[in-house]
Amino acid sequence: MSSKDPRSVIDPSKFLNRKVRVKFSGGREVEGTLKGHDAVCNLVLDDTEEFLRGNSPPYTAVLGSVVRQGPIDPEDSTRLLETTRALGLIVARGSAIVLISPVEGVQRIENPFVGVDAQ
């Protein structure tokens, strides 16, 4: 694809063999090592972990993989938990990807708009 092609806005090749966090439409999030991609942004991730959401069951093992436990909030299905599920090698469909972010060099900040009253 040429650099003027609007489909080439995302260039995953700069993240090859680095840990990335991928958010999908529907709210799922995974983190893994980017091993490959294609022209339509399908991704191959290795050593992938899925971050479970509030209404996920409290898994202790999935296919022999140990899962880290975190608090389960059955009332809030939108909040991500510290609980993860090991997925291993996955292929992520490009049309379902909302965001690709490197894990290193990213810093979480507090929302500056929380608690601000409308004038």
The mean pLDDT of 6-23, rounded to a whole number, is 84
Over residues 26-72, the pLDDT tens digits come to: 889 999 999 999 988 999 999 999 988 775 555 544 444 555 555 55
DSSP 29-83: EEEEEEEEE-TT--EEEEEEEEEEETTS---SEETTEE-------TT-SSSEEEE
Q: Counting beta carbons within 10 angstroms of the beta carbon of residue 49, is it exposed (0 to 12), middle (13 to 18) or buried (19 or more)?
A: buried
Q: Is 34 exposed, middle or buried (0-12, 13-18, 19+ CB in 10 A)?
A: buried
Higher per-residue pLDDT: 114 or 80: 114
Helices and strands in the chain: count of H runs, count of E runs = 0, 7
Domains of the chain: 20-102 (2.30.30.100)
Confidence of residue 6 (pLDDT cuts 50, 70, 90): low
**Total length of the chain:** 119
Q: Which residues pair with 100 in a beta bridge?
A: 22
pLDDT above 60 (res 5): no
Q: Given pLDDT bands bounded at 50, 70 and 90, which one contains residue 91?
A: very high
User: How high is the pLDDT of residue 19?
Assistant: 96
Q: Which residue has the higher pLDDT, 84 or 93?
A: 93
What integer pLDDT is reported at residue 46 of this predicted model? 97
pLDDT of residue 10: 75
Choose the weakest-confidence range: 5-14, 31-40, 78-87. 5-14
